[in-house]
Amino acid sequence: MSDQINPVSLIDTPTGYTDWLTELKTRIHSSQQRAGLSVNRELILLYWQIGRDFLERQAQQSWVRR
């Protein structure tokens, strides 16, 4: 006797369902990756702008390091 339990299906899986589900998962994963890249790009631009602004103020207002 096997310890593995097989799930019971009350209805047959519709034709094409497995392919559609795989495609859906792929689309979700791709969208998540694009969203992450977009967020990272925006943060990098923000940090560069902050650094540039800091250097400009440092030059204009004669800020010095101590």
For residue 32, give the amino acid letter.
Q
Enumerate the domain spans of the chain: 32-66
pLDDT values of the chain reduced to their tens digit, one per residue, 66 residues: 567 787 777 888 899 999 999 999 999 999 999 999 999 999 999 999 999 999 999 989 887 666
Nearest CA to 57 among 45, 44, 49? 49
Dihedrals phi, psi of 58, to nearest 5 degrees: -60, -45
Q: What is the pTM of this model?
A: 0.61
